[in-house]
Amino acid sequence: MEEKKQSHISIMRKSQLTKAAYRVVSRKGYYNFTIKDISRETGLSAGLVHYYFKDKQDLLLNLIREMNANIKEMLVGELVKTDDPVVKIKTYIDQAFALVEKEKEYFHVIIDFWSQVNRNNRMKQANIKLFQSYRDECVAILKEGIQKGVFKEMDVNYMSIMILSLVEGTMIQHFIDENAFNYREYSEKMSDQIMNIILKK
């Protein structure tokens, strides 16, 4: 019983520290934060931070895994509401575009992580898994739509990459320059264009 309680406390502490890391990295960036910053953010000692995470990189890798899990959970929570692949793919696209408004800090963090992929193999592998999970979800919806006869026959792997490229590219441009275009208007147009490409007439 005591062991179970300790395990529960450990999970809660790790989650608390990871959330603090998310806030700190979004403000200060990948390079500019320290374990002491996490300690101050949570009110916990630096020693306790080191107890749960051996170093800064370990903490950041845990952060990217948790970000991935949270976003996937949010998406799956919406996708399970329907059996219609047309509604599913629209939801998938809309949820992805909505991240800019729902999870603005996410982009501060994820862009910093992308800058590490050529220098840090563990970070590269974490990002590979992140993008693979996005593609896998998209491919599954596209395959279901083809099987049900509502989507055209297509190369689902290519289409998943194209969809993600449109969405991610638009989000990054908006993130860098919010005044470049009307994000909501353009994301709706792109969503409609994707649907026109994949839907059977």
Structure token digits, residue 158: 């290519």
Nearest to 157 by CA among 133, 139, 179, 183: 139
Specify the 3-state DSSP secondary structure of 199: strand
| List of residues 6+ apart from 133 with CB closer than 8 A | 68, 72
Residues in the chain: 201
Domain locations in the chain as residue ranges = 1-53, 57-198
pLDDT at 172: 87
Q: Which residues of the chain have pLDDT under 50?
A: none
How far apart CA 135 and CA 4 sit, in angstroms, is: 36
Q: How many CB atoms lie within 10 A of CB 26?
A: 18
pLDDT, one tens digit per residue, over 131-160 is: 898 899 999 999 999 999 999 999 999 999
Annotation: CATH topology of 1-53: Arc Repressor Mutant, subunit A (1.10.10)
pLDDT at 184: 92
pLDDT at 39: 84
Written as one letter, the residue type at 103 is E
| Kind plus residue range of the DSSP H or E element containing 129 | helix 121-147
Written as one letter, the residue type at 47 is G
| Residue 80 DSSP label | T
**Given the structure tokens 């320290």, which residue do they identify?**
34
How far apart CA 17 and CA 40 sit, in angstroms, is: 11
Question: What are the φ and ψ backbone dihedral angles of 40, each rounded to 5 degrees?
Answer: -65, -40
Q: Tell me the whole-structure pTM to 2 decimals.
A: 0.78
Annotation: CATH topology of 57-198: Tetracycline Repressor; domain 2 (1.10.357)
pLDDT at 3: 54
Nearest to 67 by CA among 112, 32, 33: 112
Task: Give the dihedral sign, CA 109/26/115/61.
Answer: negative
State the distance between the two ends of the chain, measured CA to CA, in whole angstroms.
60
pLDDT at 23: 80
